[in-house]
Amino acid sequence: MIDLDRIREAAERIRGVAFETPLLHSRHLSDITGADVWLKAENLQRTGSFKIRGAANRVQRLDADERARGVIAASAGNHAQGLALAAQSLGVPATICMPIDASLTKVEATRGYGARIELEGVAFDDALAHALAICEREGSVFVSPFDDPDVIAGQGTAGIEIMERMPDADLVVVPCGGGGLIAGVATAVHALRPEARIVGVQAEACAPFVRALETGVIESAPSAGTIADGIAVKRPGGNTFPIVRDLVERVVTVDDEQIAAAMTLLVERQKLAVEGAGAAGVAALLAGRVGDVAGRRVVVVLSGGNIDLLLMQGVMRHGLTTAGRYMRFTTRMVDRPGSLREFLDILTAERVNIVDMFHHRDGTDLGVKDTAVDITVETRDHEHGEHVLARIRAGGYPAERMSLS
């Protein structure tokens, strides 16, 4: 049974291993939504996510025999780093099984915390099967990333911190994968402020909790690719589902475009680097998925900040495009000296900044005396982009939007 006392015990147990993360006010999100919006910055937690909380509590609960046998887990990212650091803090051997294509950054970070790394298979399920086989063979203690009572209680310590800083919160929005974080947070928040609403958020591409809450039956969901890989868990936990069912008002979904826009906003306006899963709650808030928030005090949990820099670059570009800040288009002109400069004079007059440009004369749809220009520009918003296109066309240049992908 997970209750407030068990979560408070976990808070004492993990003190010194996990940080108390800040609760940051967002004036920008407050202005947009009409709510008083605060962000629980677990992206600033040790190892870059909330996972260290549950992992530390589970490791601290091991008896002497279990510590000698060591711990093992399957993970491609945040749980791997959290468990590795928690085990290292107590001198407990840790083995982490990861897919062979796991991010090199995450692999090396996990190894840097002293864990033995086993790379196996192309998917998480392959790594999990390998971990269970090692567990059977070596007698290690398997630590679930979410479906363990001690792990749930550890994650719930974030809920206590929220209530200590914001005892009159009206709504708490929590990203939801297997359910460990939202189950723990919901338990703490409900015990301390029963009238507060709790809403979970899943990626549209993998949302098993939504279906399970509708039918009352836990089933595996198909999983498509998503930038919110940290919450792309196919099946709710047997321990987490009843808690979510009883304490969470609803679980909603957001798509990758909404998540990318939220990540971009958090970098630009809050100066916070947040991974896709961590930004899901902000995405739901911006999309109006969490219900009427006007005049309410809202806390959104930013569950993690571990994102590959190359992926971040692509997400930022996509997010800026979705917001109307980037626009790519193609046009054509007569191939003669000075024609490109005349075209660029239009962009200069409209105060448009050029990101990149490709000038070419090849293509079956080009006339003998034509040349084509593919160009990416910065615009203020969608309205400005449409105005720029109209101005270009009025100047005699046939311009068509292109995808930035």
What is the signed CA dihedral for 338, 339, 343, 349, rounded to 10 degrees?
Answer: 30
Check pLDDT > 80 for residue 231: yes
Asked whether the beta carbons of 179 and 207 are under 8 A apart, the reply is: no
- The larger pLDDT score, comparing residue 137 to residue 102, is at 137
| Residues in contact with 285: Cβ distance below 8 Å, sequence separation at least 6, in sequence order | 29, 33, 35, 37, 173, 293, 298, 300
Asked whether the beta carbons of 290 and 173 are under 8 A apart, the reply is: yes
Tell me, rounded to whole angstroms, the distance of Cα 183 from its chain centroid. Answer: 18
Q: What is the pLDDT of residues 316-356, one digit of tens each?
A: 777 777 777 888 898 988 888 888 889 899 999 988 899 88
Copy the structure tokens of residue 233: 């868990």
What structural domains and CATH numbers belong to the chain? 4-50+149-319 (3.40.50.1100), 52-142 (3.40.50.1100), 325-402 (3.30.70.260)
Copy the structure tokens of residue 264: 């971009």
Task: Tell me the whole-structure pTM to 2 decimals.
Answer: 0.85
Q: In this predicted structure, which of 24-28, 279-283, 381-385 has the lowest mean pLDDT?
A: 381-385
Percent of the chain's residues with pLDDT above 90 = 66
CA proximity to 287, closest of 38, 32, 41, 39: 32
In order of 73, 92, 116, 134, the CA distances from 65 in angstroms are 18, 11, 20, 17
Provide the pLDDT confidence category of residue 366 given band limits of 50, 70 and 90. low
Angle at the Cα of 24 from the Cα atoms of 78 and 45, rounded to 5 degrees: 25
Of the ranges 1-10, 121-130, 224-233, 369-378, which is most confident? 1-10
